[in-house]
């Protein structure tokens, strides 16, 4: 029976994660770095530290900032709009943890933002949830794996069309 949580080979799983992370890094980067200035929404400061260690240089917004959920949704809509003005793609990358609470937050944010016609990019979270489960269930659990992931992320950033081994 096939393993539904991704390939058992760590190297292959890490390459898949790195490819997805590299794509999100490219969208998140400021325009002066060739990016699309697409913010990433995470749960808290530890998640932001993990993403910074992986190479994210653009805006990272945190859900846990002492605001009501309604205020956060209104802020995201007013600040980032419904489409990314640079690449015309989703205006926000939502990357909650892939534990139960993170899944509930992801669903809430997706539904509320999409009800306001805000497009949401969930590809990175979906990939990480599938291939990084053995290493942890949170964005912050990626931090110890940054040294192994960084060279792979760099190779996918340089050769965006390059295929995963």
Closest CA to 143 of 44, 52, 59, 14: 52
For residue 158, the model assigns a pLDDT of: 77
What digits encode the pLDDT tens for the residues 55-64?
999 999 999 9
**pTM recorded for the entire structure:** 0.88
Largest pairwise CA distance in the chain: 48
CATH, domain 10-138, list 3.40.50.1000, 3.30.70.3270, 3.30.429.10, 3.40.1360.10 = 3.40.1360.10
């Amino acid at each position: 029976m096939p393993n539904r949580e991704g390939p058992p080979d760590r190297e292959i799983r890490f390459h898949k994660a790195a490819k997805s992370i590299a794509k999100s890094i490219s969208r998140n980067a400021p325009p002066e770095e060739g990016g699309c200035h697409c913010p990433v929404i995470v749960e808290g400061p530890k998640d932001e530290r993990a993403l910074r260690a992986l190479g994210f240089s653009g805006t990272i917004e945190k859900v846990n900032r002492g605001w009501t959920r309604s205020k956060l949704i209104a802020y995201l809509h007013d600040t980032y709009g419904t489409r990314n003005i640079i690449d015309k793609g989703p205006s926000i990358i939502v990357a909650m943890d892939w534990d139960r609470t993170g899944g509930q937050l992801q669903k809430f944010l997706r539904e509320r933002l999409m009800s306001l016609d805000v497009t949401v990019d969930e590809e990175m979270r979906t990939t990480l949830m599938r291939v990084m489960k053995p290493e942890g269930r949170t964005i912050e659990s990626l931090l110890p794996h940054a040294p192994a992931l960084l060279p792979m992320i760099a190779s996918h950033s340089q050769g965006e069309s390059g295929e995963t081994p």
